[in-house]
Structure 1
Amino acid sequence: MATVREGNKAVLLVVDVQVDVMSESWEAPRVIQNLVQVVECARAQGAPVIWVQHSDEELLYGSPGWQWVPELVPASGDALIHKHFNSSFEATDLEAHLAACGATHIVLAGAATNWCIRATAYGALDRGYDLTLVSDAHTTGTIVLEDGGRIDAATIVEELNIAMTWLSYPGRTNSTATAEAVDFTCSGATPHAMVAAE
């Protein structure tokens, strides 16, 4: 079993809100504005904000598409994590930054829902953190299958919101909250509330 984190210290983890990632994502302008609201809330309530930025052979480090979207800019002193895998925990120093600020509860938002957000959410729970997924502040693109079938982005977002509400881990809590309802002074979020994608 994972080591359960004792305490009540929330941090905001903003994952891969980069130009090329968001350009292909469902309802990106709405999601970005919700992300802005969550970042402002975290800052107002004194919660650390940690930014995760992806690069690989398609999303080249330092390229225009790799940059943060213009609406979201890390502040001086915010932790910056560079990753090459879906989970923000794999081959990064994220856990060291979380330990440095005494984090026990991760509030998670960003992109892409079915890849890096999902992998990071499970990675956090597996490592003993409480988790709140901001239900209206993550997004992805629609998947077109080889047989012509489609998995709509809205369905992917809704499914992960449901999963993060109903998962059960010993000694940990997991939930969803809207951008408007997140409260970083109460373990990072309001109590469990299943929120479907809009």
Structure 2
Amino acid sequence: MTTLSDRPNTALLVVDVQNGVVARAHDRDAVVANVAAAVDKAREAGVDVVWVQHNSADLAADTEPWRYVPELTIGAGEPVVQKRYGDSFEDTSLEDVLAEHGVGRLVVAGAQTDECIRSTLHGAITRGYDATLVSDAHTTEDLTAYGAPPPEQVIAHTNLYWTYHEAPGRTAGTVRTADLDFAVADLGAGREDD
């Protein structure tokens, strides 16, 4: 249903599951395990896995904080997109990578919920993609000291509003890792009430 013509394919977009990003993340181990399960399901289904890696002063290239967590392995030939902003599309090669692979539908997992996940989901929808969030495969750290709600509430709220998000000619929604089936046409069709 994407508004992008000639883009029938799906990709799993894994955003910023880097050592320095998820070191203090809420429910880190369970979320990383769910991301790994989603990656396995995508590979088994022949679906492209695209990795996004944030770069900043705290996440300098080729440092331990910048590297992906050891539980996740980037496969040979799987694209890795470097980014500097929350939205994985902003000033990156992501659009070119997705166009090259004929991708019009994204399944999104990773970190951080309140910044890069939300920005990337909205960036995808505004650019014409269908975008499904894996509801138990994204996380954030505790930012209550800065006035944010506790991380479990940030995650629940993001799942709630993305479950019911709408845009003309595009689909949004959420799916749990256990229910993720890349053969299903509308991955967010089994809307959940997190």
Which of the five TM-score ranges fits, normalised by the shorter chain? Answer: over 0.9
1:62 aligns with 2:66: no
Identity fraction in percent: 37
Query: Aligned residue for 1:169?
Result: 167
- Report how many aligned residue pairs link the two structures: 192
Q: Which amino acid aligns with 2:71?
A: E
TM-score calculated relative to the size of structure 2: 0.94
State the Cα distance separating 1:195 from its structure 2 match.
Answer: 4.2
Q: Which moved more, 1:159-168 or 1:103-112?
A: 159-168
Rounded to whole Å, the distance in 2 between the matches of 1:150 and 1:58 is 21
Rounded to whole Å, the distance in 2 between the matches of 1:74 and 1:44 is 15
Q: Which amino acid aligns with 1:185?
A: A
TM-score calculated relative to the size of structure 1: 0.92
Query: Aligned residue for 1:43?
Result: 43
State the Cα distance separating 1:193 from its structure 2 match.
Answer: 1.1
Rounded to whole Å, the distance in 2 between the matches of 1:97 and 1:188 is 22
- Coordinate RMSD, CA, aligned: 1.5
Query: Aligned residue for 1:137?
Result: 137
Aligned pairs for 1:175-186 within 5 A: 175-186=173-184
Q: Which amino acid aligns with 1:151?
A: P
Rounded to whole Å, the distance in 2 between the matches of 1:150 and 1:171 is 33
Rounded to whole Å, the distance in 2 between the matches of 1:185 and 1:98 is 19
SS of the residue corresponding to residue 64 of structure 1 reads coil
SS of the residue corresponding to residue 178 of structure 2 reads coil
Rounded to whole Å, the distance in 2 between the matches of 1:38 and 1:131 is 15
Q: Which amino acid aligns with 1:21?
A: V
1:155 aligns with 2:121: no
Query: Aligned residue for 2:192?
Result: 194
* Change over 3 Å in CA distance of 1:150–1:175 after alignment to 2: closer
Deviations 1:39-93 (A, max 9, x none): 0000000000000000101221111111110010100000110001101000101
Rounded to whole Å, the distance in 1 between the matches of 2:15 and 2:68 is 10
Contact 1:176 1:195 in 2 (8 A): no
SS of the residue corresponding to residue 67 of structure 1 reads coil
Contact 1:175 1:191 in 2 (8 A): yes
SS of the residue corresponding to residue 106 of structure 2 reads strand
Q: Which amino acid aligns with 1:4?
A: T
Which consecutive segments of 4 or more residues in structure 1 shift more than 4 A? none
Unaligned runs of 5+ in 2: none
